[in-house]
């Protein structure tokens, strides 16, 4: 009963997110407005002296009708960018697909979370703090030495507490954590580093995983500064959003130097290695044509996103890979038969469909059901001899005999003398790569005796049918979200289309293990069990990887891109979960 209750909680927390275009998830369209004081676009110059060699900050005389050109970039120390598919966003409470602040994807150059999940190391790593100890009752972290805001003031325990409270209250995907932390205590060790302990109201592994997910995804904010003069427990979301836009200030490696109607400029917080870009400049061109022309006109160094017109002279660096595949609706009588699913499994050829989806993306294998290339590669040896269900066959003739049917002269499956009904495969219209991969899958399925008809739908209709299980088969693409063990467990369920407790007990146990994994070994073991269980059930059929947030470089001033990209796959999303690591790797070419 306990496991069933926990699984219901997990399933109810999932909202099925529609697959979108080749570039991943589309965010909620919430326009970001410039809320800085017109007389004080340079937010921090009054509090700290301008660094030597800083670019010139100017103010136009006409403050009523203005387009600010208040930042004169030095190409030797300023990396300039133009976004194609994302909006510039400084609001940590927004669900939009933005940059440099996006809690969904894990992109957060300005703010930091307490801890982070590393999809390449498959474990928790330090953020603003380091994970020290975990039990069903408490989580213990150690705050980074001399943790300070960009204006030099120290981070306080109260600011951390209120940040977690705000994010669980106002950010929908973290709402399951609201009220979960009931007590926060602190003590200072002999090394003068502060240790913080969080006590949980629900003391079990599942709620522990929710709390860890919160610590990985909730940015720590200058809460006492943003709520000055008001009760931080009753301040409204709109008031917080206004303050976040008016004075964006965190503890991350980049602080906001200038935010005007033309550009957002971030300044790197210096470290021991100064051979890195000092400034990051994001242009704010409004129309798509102007954004794409920015790099061709040599106005920016880096173009991020999908573009159909990229000059050959630019260097291409693929973004983060996300998995795409076919989901089967087992509420349909035909697809509730494991032998029919067996035919669909025989139709998989990820080498062909993967190349059709994205010929520059990493290759995958047919038993890849969720997660990242790093995870799949880590499990390859453990999955070298996959365990199939007892009903699995390796050819359509044996399957037809088992069904008491036959394969006709046309190569199709017949039952009781009748060709089995065609299966509809829904997909979003306008996605040529997805359509091509689905056509290949359809042709392969026909070779196995099945007829699949593609139904291309407007994104609204596609989303509605996907969310309401109104399909036989559906193209599905993983979303651009900040992965943790909990979110990967949700992804496991989401790709199956599971929204209630219809898994067998073995599947229920696996989902809970995956959501509550803490160590590398616990996570790897749970992931292996989930993959093996998926093989026996055959409800999701992977087509391959697609990359999101691709990058095009047209500058001779920067180096180390190639070195970083060659050794990373899951931490190379420059506007997502790997943003901080990517920018930290870039060097000035001597």
CATH code for the domain in which residue 510 is found: 3.10.105.10
Please check the confidence at residue 452 and state whether its pLDDT lies above 90. Answer: yes
Same domain, 440 and 487: yes
| pLDDT confidence of residue 355 | 94
Cβ atoms 553, 337 nearer than 8 A: no
Question: CATH no. for residue 309?
Answer: 3.40.190.10
Strands of 263-268's sheet, edge to edge?
254-259, 263-268, 279-283, 78-83, 302-304, 551-553, 315-317
Identify which has the larger pLDDT, 194 or 185: 185
**Domain-located, residue 104:** no
Q: Using the predicted structure, report yes or no on whether residue 477 has a pLDDT greater than 50.
A: yes
Q: Which of 587, 578, 589, 582 is nearest to 118 (CA)?
A: 578
Kindly state whether residue 8 falls inside one of the protein's structural domains.
no
Q: 170-179, 191-200, 495-504, 562-571: lowest mean pLDDT where?
A: 495-504
d(CA 514, CA 479): 19
245 close to 90: Cβ distance less than 8 angstroms: yes
- Pairwise CA distance, residues 241 & 226, whole Å: 10
pLDDT in tens, 23-38: 333 333 333 333 333 3
Q: Residue holding tokens 């990229």?
A: 310
Answer whether residue 405 shows pLDDT above 90: yes
The whole-number average pLDDT for the span 124-148 is: 92
Give pLDDT, residue 503.
62
Q: How many CA atoms lie within 13 A of 55 on its CB side?
A: 24
Whether the bond between 427 and the residue before it is cis, its omega within 30 degrees of 0, is no
Partnered with residue 158 across adjacent β-strands are none
The phi and psi torsions of 200 (rounded to 5 degrees) equal -105, 145
Give me the pLDDT at residue 387, please. 59
Q: What's the mean per-residue pLDDT of the chain?
A: 82
Q: What's residue 198's pLDDT?
A: 96
In this model, does residue 57 exceed pLDDT 80? no
Q: Based on the structure, what is the number of domains in the chain?
A: 3
Kindly state whether residues 134 and 87 are assigned to the same domain: no
pLDDT given at position 494? 73
Q: Which of 236, 251, 266 is at the close of a domain?
A: 251
How many other β-carbons are positioned within 10 Å of the β-carbon of residue 567?
11
Q: What tokens does 19 get?
A: 């697959």
pLDDT score of 49 more than 80:
no
Contact 232, 162 (CB under 8 A): yes
pLDDT at 1 over 60: no
19 contacts 476 by C-beta, under 8 angstroms = yes
Asked if residue 589 has pLDDT above 90, the reply is no
Q: Are residues 167 and 186 in the same domain?
A: yes
Give the three-state DSSP class for 400.
helix
How far lies 407's CA from each of 343, 418, 452, in Å? 12, 11, 16
At residue 498, the pLDDT reads: 59
Do 555 and 469 reside in the same domain of the chain? Answer: no
Same domain assignment for residues 520 and 572 = no
Q: Any idea which residue has 């400034």 for tokens?
A: 279
Q: Are 576 and 480 in contact (CB under 8 A)?
A: yes
- What CATH number is attached to the domain comprising 200? 3.90.76.10
Q: Are 574 and 561 part of one and the same domain?
A: yes
Instruction: Classify residue 534: in a domain, yes or no.
Output: yes
Tokens of 184: 């926060």
Between CA 267 and CA 253 the distance in angstroms is 8
Q: Are residues 480 and 499 both part of a single domain?
A: yes
What's the full length of the chain, in residues?
590
* pLDDT given for residue 419 in this prediction: 94
**Alpha carbon distance 538, 531 (integer Å):** 10
Handedness of CA 356, 362, 366, 372 (dihedral sign): negative
Among 61-70, 116-125, 532-541, name the most confident range: 116-125
390 — pLDDT class (breaks 50, 70, 90): low
338 and 386 share one domain: yes
Collapsing DSSP to helix, strand or coil, 84 comes out as coil
8 A C-beta contact, residue 205 and residue 136: yes
Answer whether 152's CB lies under 8 Å from 222's CB.
no
Residue 50: pLDDT band (50, 70, 90) is very low
The DSSP string of 24-39 is: -PPPP--PPP--S-GG
- Distance (Å, whole) CA 434 – CA 426: 11
Which pLDDT band, with edges at 50, 70 and 90, does 307 fall under?
Answer: low
Whether 370 and 395 map to the same domain: the answer is yes
With 80 as the cut, is the pLDDT of residue 315 above it?
A: yes
Predicted pLDDT at 59: 41
For residue 423, the cross-strand partners are 452
Q: Does residue 488 have a pLDDT over 80?
A: yes
Cα–Cα dist 198/589, whole Å: 45
Q: What pLDDT does residue 40 have?
A: 36
In a domain, 105, yes or no: no
Does one domain contain both 393 and 427? Answer: yes
Please give the residue range of the domain that contains residue 167: 111-251
Number of H helices, E strands in the chain: 17, 26
H or E stretch including 81?
Answer: strand 78-83
Six-digit token string for 20: 């979108």
The pLDDT score that the predictor gives to residue 517 is 86
The Cα 201–Cα 212 span in angstroms is 14
* 272 located within any domain: yes
Check whether 502 has a pLDDT greater than 90: no
Q: Average pLDDT in the 439-462 region?
A: 97
Any residues with CB less than 8 A from the CB of 23 and at least 6 apart, and which? Answer: 85, 305, 306, 548, 549, 550
Pairing assessment for the beta strands 87-89 and 98-102 based on DSSP bridges: parallel
Q: Say whether pLDDT at 421 is over 90.
A: yes
Closest CA to 123 of 218, 193, 212: 212
Instruction: Identify the top-confidence range among 15-29, 144-158, 187-201.
Output: 144-158
**Structure confidence by residue, pLDDT tens digits, 327-380:** 999 888 899 898 999 999 999 999 999 999 998 888 887 777 788 888 888 888
Q: Is 223 in the same domain as 162?
A: yes
Element (H, E) at 378: helix 373-379
Tens digits of residue pLDDT in 58-100: 443 443 334 445 678 888 889 999 998 889 999 999 888 899 9
Indicate whether this model's pTM tops 0.95: no
How large is the average pLDDT for residues 269-279? 80
Q: Do residues 310 and 410 share a domain?
A: no
- Spatial distance between the Cα atoms of 444 and 339, rounded to a whole number of angstroms: 16
The pLDDT value recorded for residue 38 is 32
Residue 9 lies in a domain: no
Q: What is the DSSP string of 489-540?
A: HHHHHHHHT--SS-S-HHHHHHHHHHHH--SHHHHHHHHHHHHHHHHHH--E
Q: Which residue would you say has higher pLDDT here, 9 or 396?
A: 396
Considering the domain boundaries, does residue 4 fall inside one? no
- Residues 110, 368: Cα–Cα separation, whole Å: 34
On whether residue 15 sits in a domain, the answer given is: no
């Amino acid at each position: 009963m306990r496991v069933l209750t926990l699984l219901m909680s997990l399933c109810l927390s999932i909202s099925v997110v529609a697959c979108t275009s080749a570039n991943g998830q589309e965010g909620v369209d919430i326009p970001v407005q410039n809320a800085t004081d017109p007389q004080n676009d340079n937010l921090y110059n009054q509090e700290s002296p301008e660094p030597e060699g800083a670019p010139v900050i100017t103010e136009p005389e006409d403050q009523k009708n203005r387009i600010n050109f208040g930042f004169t970039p030095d190409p030797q120390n300023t990396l300039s960018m133009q976004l194609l598919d994302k909006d510039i966003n400084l609001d940590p409470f927004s669900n939009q697909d933005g940059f440099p602040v996006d809690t969904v994807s894990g992109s957060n150059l300005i703010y930091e979370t307490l801890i982070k999940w590393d999809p390449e190391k498959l474990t928790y790593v330090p953020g603003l703090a380091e994970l020290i100890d975990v039990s069903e009752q408490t989580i213990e972290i150690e705050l980074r030495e001399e943790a300070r805001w960009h204006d030099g003031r120290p981070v306080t325990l109260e600011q951390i507490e209120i940040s977690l409270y705000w994010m669980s209250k106002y950010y929908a995907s973290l709402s399951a954590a609201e009220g979960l932390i009931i007590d926060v205590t602190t003590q200072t060790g002999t090394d003068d580093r502060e240790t913080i302990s969080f006590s949980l109201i629900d003391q079990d592994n599942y709620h522990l995983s929710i709390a860890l997910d919160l610590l990985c995804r909730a940015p720590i904010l200058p809460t006492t500064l943003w709520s000055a003069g008001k009760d931080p427990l009753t301040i409204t979301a709109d008031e917080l959003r206004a303050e976040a836009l008016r004075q964006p200030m965190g503890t991350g490696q980049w602080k906001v130097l200038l935010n005007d109607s033309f550009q957002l400029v971030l300044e790197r917080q210096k470290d021991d290695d100064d051979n890195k870009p000092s400034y990051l400049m994001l242009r704010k061109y409004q129309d798509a044509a102007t954004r794409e022309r920015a790099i061709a006109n040599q106005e920016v160094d880096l173009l991020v996103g999908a573009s159909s017109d990229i000059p050959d002279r630019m260097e291409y660096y693929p973004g983060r890979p996300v998995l795409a595949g076919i989901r089967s609706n087992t509420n349909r009588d035909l697809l509730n038969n494991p032998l029919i699913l067996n035919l669909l499994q025989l139709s998989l050829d990820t080498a062909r469909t993967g190349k059709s989806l994205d010929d520059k993306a990493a290759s995958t294998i047919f038993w890849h059901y969720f997660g990242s290339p790093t995870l799949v590669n880590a499990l390859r040896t453990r999955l070298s001899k996959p365990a199939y269900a007892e009903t699995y066959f390796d050819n359509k003739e044996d399957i037809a005999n088992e069904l008491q049917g036959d394969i006709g002269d046309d190569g199709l499956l017949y039952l009781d003398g009748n060709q089995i009904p065609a299966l509809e495969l829904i997909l979003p219209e306008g996605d040529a790569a997805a359509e091509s991969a689905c056509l290949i899958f359809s042709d392969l399925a026909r070779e196995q005796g099945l007829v699949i008809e593609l139904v291309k739908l407007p994104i609204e209709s596609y989303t509605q049918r996907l969310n309401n299980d109104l399909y036989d088969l559906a193209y599905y693409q993983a979303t651009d979200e900040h992965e943790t063990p909990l979110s990967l467990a949700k992804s496991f369920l989401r790709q199956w289309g599971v929204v209630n407790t219809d898994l067998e007990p073995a599947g229920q146990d696996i989902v809970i293990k995956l959501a509550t994994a803490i160590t590398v070994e616990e996570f790897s073991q749970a992931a292996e069990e989930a993959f093996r269980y998926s093989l026996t059930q055959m409800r999701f059929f992977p087509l391959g990887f697609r990359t999101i947030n691709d990058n095009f470089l047209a500058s001779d001033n920067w180096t180390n891109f190639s070195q970083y990209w060659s050794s990373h796959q899951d931490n190379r999303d420059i506007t997502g979960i790997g943003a901080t690591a990517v920018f930290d790797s870039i060097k000035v070419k001597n």
